Amino acid sequence: MDVSLLFVEPTWMQEMKTYLKTSQMLKTLNLVQKQKLAIKVKPFILKEGIMYKVGQDNIMRRCLTTSKAQIVLKELHEGVARGHFVVDNNVKKILDVGY
């Protein structure tokens, strides 16, 4: 599988990570919230503690918190890579530097 990036808010990541790790949902969720979470979590996997979303193209897209995504984009535009590039090149450069 190829790996790409996906930005996800941390609150969603935490709920989803917990469910992916334990297959249990928070007791504070009502039935409708539990059903929504069960549907949302389907395309996500945990691999070595890192959450990925697997697309229809079977590419694993690493999930980042908003703050981590901002760091990655700042490094991409201001760091060694510098500049604006087409999306595929941006993703490749992000992955090349270890994110």
User: Could you tell me if 43 and 55 are in contact, meaning their C-beta atoms sit under 8 angstroms apart?
Assistant: yes
**pTM confidence score:** 0.65
Report, in angstroms and rounded to the nearest whole number, the Rg of the chain calculated over CA atoms.
15
For residue 27, what are the domain limits? 3-96
pLDDT digits (tens, 9 = 90+) for 18-69: 899 999 888 888 999 999 999 999 999 999 999 999 988 898 988 888 888 8
Q: Which of 80, 77, 78 is nearest to 97 (CA)?
A: 80
What's the structural domain count of the chain? 1
